[in-house]
Amino acid sequence: MCLLKVYLEEENGKKFIAKDIALVIKEENMIKLYKLETENAINLENIDIFSIDTINSIMIVKSKK
């Protein structure tokens, strides 16, 4: 099973946010990240999805400016 690792792109590199993400939901100004074993979401506000690399199971997000 290929679960996502999520990183925040910053000026000085990438910051690790979460791993084992099974579901990503975009709702207006928020991205909700759900792990496989829990119903609680990790909520990211004022964030855009920059890229999703399915081969390496990596999602990069960036702050909205």
Q: How far apart are CA 28 and CA 4, in angstroms?
A: 21
pLDDT at 65: 75
Task: Pick the closest to residue 59 from 28, 14, 27 (CA basis).
Answer: 14
How many domains are there within the chain? 1
Q: Determine the distance from the C-alpha atom of residue 59 to the mean position of all C-alpha atoms in its chain, rounded to a whole number.
A: 5
Q: What is the pLDDT of residues 9-58, one digit of tens each?
A: 999 999 999 999 999 999 988 999 999 888 899 999 999 999 999 999 99
Tokens of 36: 């496989």
pLDDT at 1: 67
Q: Which domain covers residue 30, as residue numbers?
A: 4-63
> Residues 6 or more apart from 50 whose CB is under 8 A from it?
9, 60, 61, 62
- Contact 9/24 with Cβ under 8 angstroms? no
